[in-house]
Amino acid sequence: MNIRTLIIAVMGTMLPSMAAAETLPVIQNVNAYESLSLNGEWNYIVDVQEEGYYDYRMKPTPWGFFRNAKPQKPEDLIEYDFDKSPTMQIPGDWNTQDERLFFYEGTVWFMRKWKVESGKWKENTEGTQEVGKRTLLYFGAVNYDCRVWVNGQEAGHHIGGFTPFNFDVTDMLKEGENTVIVKVDNKRHAEDVPTLSFDWWNYGGITRDVKLVKVAPVYLEDYSLTLEKVKGEKGKKVREICFSAKLNKAEAGHKVVVFIPELKLEKTFTTDAEGKIQNSMFSVQSKKLSLWSPENPKLYKIHLSVDSETITDEIGFRTIETRDKQILLNGQPIFLKGISIHDEKANGGGRANSTEDAHQLLSWAKELGCNFVRLAHYPHNEYMVREAERMGILVWSEVPVYWTIAWTNPATFENAQQQLTEMIHRDHNRANIIIWSIANETPHSAERDNFLGRLAQYARSLDDTRLISMAMEVTGASNYVNRLNDNMNQYVDVVSFNQYIGWYRDVNDAPKMTWEIPYNKPVIVSEFGGGAKYGYHGEKNQRWTEEFQENLYRENTAMLDKIDGLAGTTPWILKDFRSPRRVLAGIQDYYNMKGLVSDKGEKKKAFFVLQQWYETK
Ligand code: GCB
């Protein structure tokens, strides 16, 4: 199965989010629709013992706190009152908005009200709700476990902290005041994805946009436009574009029109009985088609209509494939000059969630000379991916299958699969995403191989137009021989591994190292690096100094140049980031200091070493 049939099977087989109301597959290109933002001030209540959800016998109570938002009896408001509770900015993590919640992991309740005026569907603007229109309540991401009620009715439940989801709440809305209540719980559990231990801050809350989205009764739940690969990219008179789509309803006979004004191209397709358009090809004159690349991040405006409703997207056309040890973009070999990034704002600002946040981080990457970023270790916010696409930066996108996952637990596998589905579904029309990564530094075992093997095959069944990889680990075959020996090799297109010579191992070993990578596939070194505190100076063998990190980058880049088939690197990491594992007072203070820039964006000496190395690539 490929991305075309995917749309399609994925949407058919998507795991339910255990909703009480109708849970829908997440809508493709949500920003194209008319919407009412519910971002802004939300009231919140910190609920350490989950009193609002369980009764004193620990039985879940069906209404949670809602009984207090809409009191039935006077005593309902004795203990809780959302209106009197403080507010915080949504989207946003709670850790950086309330000092008391900096280390908090647990449940926080959120409440927001909005008005629907008589006959109108949204506040402060004109426009009436057309008959039959549906309203979806959309969340860009909530970390980690979230339950949603609208006007006292349960809208749904979702787990996974970094991917979008939506519920159809049309029948729950009413004229006048409406209330949404969200219970968010970011407690860690061994069987979760990620699991108990990970090296980043467990920012809790409604961390991405919330909105009500108006859709027609029949709308494009998913679509994809992909450029077909051809042997020898040059000299072809026409190129084929493959279009697939899926409506929210399995109805035949709907007209779907794809209109690309700049290419003067308009094609009409008709849905089959499943409400799908499957793998329909159309040709474009090659010389008219400007391919997306880092040098030319060309996006075409695309209008997509179903019946009389039209939405717009911006889509780039390119191909990505491998040939032996090379990665080919549009048929040409490319070296991926990358950097790893966490989805965190500069200046201690917590979770990123805007084009400005993205632009800041990506501008530093550009200054380094990057054409590629590894968005570690979970799907980043959509602004990040879109801004990278506009800036001509290729992307590795990853799910948080990190370290010691509960490999034998079926629910854990389903959870990972669901997060992968939502990541691919949200972003599979982005030209800049070239790699789906299914895991990071996972310990070898038969159970892990079984889990990851299935996950890799699933990823490929969703999208066979991109490369699959994962960050592996090398093992020391002998003292100075690094061997990649991972059964997962058979499932990936690109072999990637993390190594920390110079940090978790002596930097003087670097010149002696040899590499055995017995696979005829491109190699990405997905992490290397070491910690330094900006402004702390000393000798090159003195840990935490900029000079130490600078030397480590010199030694590592020279060493990596000797790896046969090296097709790219994503050193660890662009910016210092918060992590509860990094407790060294006076140096780390809960920051992982391996950034090439400080949290404030100050460039450390190693920044310039990498910059110079990338100039040679
Ligand atoms: C790793 C992990 C990354 C950590 C990094 C470190 O191997 O993949 O998440 O932050 O090492 O700093 O130790």
| DSSP string computed for 130-197 | -TT-EEEEEES--BSEEEEEETTEEEEEEE-SSS-EEEE-GGG--SEEEEEEEEEE----TTSSS-S-
Taking the C-alpha atoms of residue 312 and residue 262, their distance in angstroms, rounded to an integer, is 13
Task: Give the position, in ligand 1's atom list, of the atom nearest the Cα of 579.
Answer: 10
- Indicate the burial class of 130 (C-beta count within 10 angstroms; 0-12, 13-18, 19 or more): exposed
Q: Would the CB of 143 count as within 6 Å of ligand 1?
A: no
Tell me the angle at which helices 3-13 and 446-462 cross, rounded to the nearest 10 degrees: 110
DSSP-derived secondary structure letter, 603: B
The residues facing 304 across adjacent strands are: 258, 311
Q: Give the per-residue pLDDT at 4.
A: 38
Q: Would the CB of 440 count as within 6 Å of ligand 1?
A: yes
Measured in Å, how far apart are the chain's first and last C-alpha atoms? Answer: 36
Taking the C-alpha atoms of residue 498 and residue 474, their distance in angstroms, rounded to an integer, is 7
Task: Give the position, in ligand 1's atom list, of the atom nearest the Cα of 503.
Answer: 13
Taking the C-alpha atoms of residue 573 and residue 344, their distance in angstroms, rounded to an integer, is 12
Q: Would the CB of 473 count as within 6 Å of ligand 1?
A: no
Phi–psi pair at 114, nearest 5 degrees: -150, 160
Tell me the two tokens of residue 316: 């780039």
Taking the C-alpha atoms of residue 500 and residue 507, their distance in angstroms, rounded to an integer, is 9
Give the neighbor-by-neighbor strand order of the sheet with 255-260. 265-270, 255-260, 300-306, 309-315
Quick count: other Cβ atoms within 10 Å of Cβ 308?
7
The residues facing 482 across adjacent strands are: 476, 515
CB 557 within 8 A of CB 613: yes
Quick count: other Cβ atoms within 10 Å of Cβ 482?
20
Angle value at C-alpha 231, between 228 and 234, nearest 5 degrees: 90
Quick count: other Cβ atoms within 10 Å of Cβ 155?
23
Q: Identify the H or E element spanning 7.
A: helix 3-13
Tell me the two tokens of residue 522: 């491109």
Q: Would the CB of 498 count as within 6 Å of ligand 1?
A: yes
The residues facing 268 across adjacent strands are: 257
Ligand 1 mean position to 594 CA, how many Å? 9
Q: Would the CB of 588 count as within 6 Å of ligand 1?
A: no
CA atoms within 13 A of residue 343's CA, in its CB half-sphere:
30
* Under-70 pLDDT residues of the chain: 1-23, 62-78, 117-131, 232-234, 477
Q: Give the per-residue pLDDT at 76.
A: 57
Q: Would the CB of 413 count as within 6 Å of ligand 1?
A: no
Ligand 1 mean position to 302 CA, how many Å? 40
Q: Would the CB of 527 count as within 6 Å of ligand 1?
A: yes
Q: Give the per-residue pLDDT at 123.
A: 37
Residue 22 CB contacts under 8 Å (≥ 6 apart), including other chains: 167, 168
Give the neighbor-by-neighbor strand order of the sheet with 326-329. 320-323, 326-329, 332-333
pTM (global) more than 0.75: yes
Ligand 1 mean position to 164 CA, how many Å? 26
Task: Give the position, in ligand 1's atom list, of the atom nearest the Cα of 440.
Answer: 8
What SS3 class is residue 358? helix
* Helices of type H across 288-396: 355-368, 382-391
* Residue position matching structure tokens 């439940």: 157
Tell me the two tokens of residue 570: 């994503």
What SS3 class is residue 128? strand
Q: Give the per-residue pLDDT at 17.
A: 36
Q: Would the CB of 107 count as within 6 Å of ligand 1?
A: no
Ligand 1 mean position to 199 CA, how many Å? 6
CB 338 within 8 A of CB 374: yes
Whether the bond into 327 is cis, omega within 30 of 0:
no
Tell me the two tokens of residue 544: 């935490």
Q: Give the per-residue pLDDT at 577.
A: 98
Q: Give the per-residue pLDDT at 567.
A: 98
Which residue's alpha carbon is at the smallest distance from atom 13 of ligand 1?
199
Q: Give the per-residue pLDDT at 15.
A: 33
What SS3 class is residue 378? coil
* Nearest by Cα to 403 from 440, 369, 364: 440
